[in-house]
Structure 1
Amino acid sequence: MASMKIAAAAALAAASLAGAAHAQEASRWFVHAGPAFVEPDESADMTAGGQTVPGADVSIGGRWTAEVEVGYFVTPNVAIAVAGGFPPKFNVDASGTLASLGRAGTMTGGPAGIMAQYHFNPEGRFQPYVGGGASFLVVFDTEDGALNDLEADSAVGTVLQAGANLMVNDRWGGFVDVKKAWVGTVAKANLGPTPVRAKVKVDPLVFNAGLTYRF
């Protein structure tokens, strides 16, 4: 009888440990999803016909989009995350000495990133985190405005991140997040018969909030 009780206790303990291990394994993944506002901090160096255009610049307005971030905890505190969103269309206006040109064109694309994150309190209700890694400016399409034959390159840069989860239970919660990226693009076009080239710093600030899900 005693041996049966010991065996039953051992089986119960093993089942409990297995359940705990499964719960821990199940919470290694997380998803952030929600609206995001992308605010470029833009500037440009421009040439026309191979000559520098003094005082020429661009202005790129901020845009709302939707962003998803998927992450995996490689340790209880360290996670690797990939973030990206629906690519918005940005209006690119000439400014500075070329402001009279108005709308230079549009660019459809946006930032994405791969970050290593440190989570300070991953099992608590309030879970702040910081991160950093590589940012990507992904350009899907451009449309002409005052400039013809407009093209812009995708590019790679760096990104820093800070945010926090506020968990309702082990699975669900909400989050707020801000990312600052340093990334630019090279744009080429024609102004009439004159070839134009611009090295554009986009350097977006991305504000994001929404739902957290751990699994």
Structure 2
Amino acid sequence: MNKSLAAAVLATLSLAASTAAVAQETPWLVRVRAVHIDPADKSDPVGGAGASDRLTVSSKTIPEFDVSYFFTPNLAAELILTYPQKHDVFLDGGKIGTFKHLPPTLLAQYHFVLDAPIKPYIGAGVNYTTMSKVDLLAGKAGLEHDSFGFALQAGVDYAIDKKWSLNIDVKKVQIRSDVFIGGAKASAVKVDPLLVGVGVGYRF
């Protein structure tokens, strides 16, 4: 009887320990990053004539917040968020106005599970960007309000402990818009920025 009781106690303790270990590995990971946006600055000739790439968009560094959910140790989904970001627009180097854009991005990720603190990953997904508060050429020019495109990602997490990690992340995002002057299409801009970020992550 004592042996049976001892075996039952050991089995219960083992199950509790296993449950606690699983509880520590929750599927949620959040990160905060500082991200530098470097636009590709490609554009069609203005008015269909002359040189290309005359329209450019300013680069800047922004805060970024993202939430990841791990379906398995390897497979995860990441939602990337920020608040509307203001950019300057230039024509032949001269400022012609500003606009704001909000670019939430959803990515499917593959994480390489290594027996080391360094955890690399790759990702691919979609970006939706909405343009707002467009003020170009004193209101004479405008942009499309919406842009849909692809996004590619590569990054590395460095585990500090079981919950905290440091992160380096690189993304290439497809963001494009037609430019209108007086209601007629005057050009098309490929912003297509390269985003390089560093940050910190927390695993719940």
| Aligned counterpart, 2:78 | 81
Query: Which of 96, 105, 109 lines up with 2:101 in the alignment?
Result: 109
Cα distance in structure 1, aligned partners of 2:62 and 2:97: 20
Q: Does 1:155 align with 2:147?
A: yes
Runs (5+) with no aligned partner, structure 1: none
| Aligned counterpart, 2:36 | 37
Question: Judging changes above 3 Å, is the alpha-carbon distance between structure 1 residues 136 and 123 closer, same or farther for their aligned structure 2 residues?
Answer: farther
Cα distance in structure 2, aligned partners of 1:156 and 1:196: 19
Q: Does 1:199 align with 2:188?
A: yes
Q: Which has the higher strand share?
A: 1
Residue 211 of structure 1 and its aligned partner are, at CA, apart by 0.7
| Aligned counterpart, 2:17 | 16
Cα distance in structure 2, aligned partners of 1:83 and 1:141: 22
| Aligned counterpart, 2:58 | 61
Could you say what secondary structure the match of 1:30 adopts? strand
Residue 149 of structure 1 and its aligned partner are, at CA, apart by 4.8
Query: Which of 100, 117, 129 lines up with 2:121 in the alignment?
Result: 129
Contact map agreement 1:104 1:147 (CA 8 A) in 2: no
- In the TM superposition, what whole-angstrom CA distance separates every residue of 1:3-62 from its partner, at most 9, and x where no partner exists? 2111111111121122122223x2x111111211111102222554xxx23225201110
Query: Which of 87, 92, 108 lines up with 1:90 in the alignment?
Result: 87
TM-score, normalised with respect to structure 2: 0.89
Residue 214 of structure 1 and its aligned partner are, at CA, apart by 0.8
Counterpart of 2:31, as a letter, is H
Question: Judging changes above 3 Å, is the alpha-carbon distance between structure 1 residues 147 and 42 closer, same or farther for their aligned structure 2 residues?
Answer: farther
Counterpart of 1:213, as a letter, is Y
Cα distance in structure 2, aligned partners of 1:110 and 1:58: 20
After superposing the two structures, state which structure 1 stretch, 141-150 or 199-208, moved more. Answer: 141-150
Counterpart of 2:186, as a letter, is R
Contact map agreement 1:65 1:86 (CA 8 A) in 2: no
Cα distance in structure 1, aligned partners of 2:64 and 2:128: 14
Could you say what secondary structure the match of 1:19 adopts? helix
Question: Judging changes above 3 Å, is the alpha-carbon distance between structure 1 residues 6 and 17 closer, same or farther for their aligned structure 2 residues?
Answer: same
Contact map agreement 1:153 1:187 (CA 8 A) in 2: no
Cα distance in structure 2, aligned partners of 1:64 and 1:74: 31
- In the TM superposition, what whole-angstrom CA distance separates every residue of 1:100-122 from its partner, at most 9, and x where no partner exists? xx322211114331111111126
Contact map agreement 1:46 1:196 (CA 8 A) in 2: no
Cα distance in structure 1, aligned partners of 2:115 and 2:145: 42
| Aligned counterpart, 1:120 | 112
Runs (5+) with no aligned partner, structure 2: none
Cα distance in structure 2, aligned partners of 1:177 and 1:115: 13
- In the TM superposition, what whole-angstrom CA distance separates every residue of 1:123-151 from its partner, at most 9, and x where no partner exists? 74111111111122221221133562524
Query: Which of 138, 154, 165 lines up with 1:173 in the alignment?
Result: 165
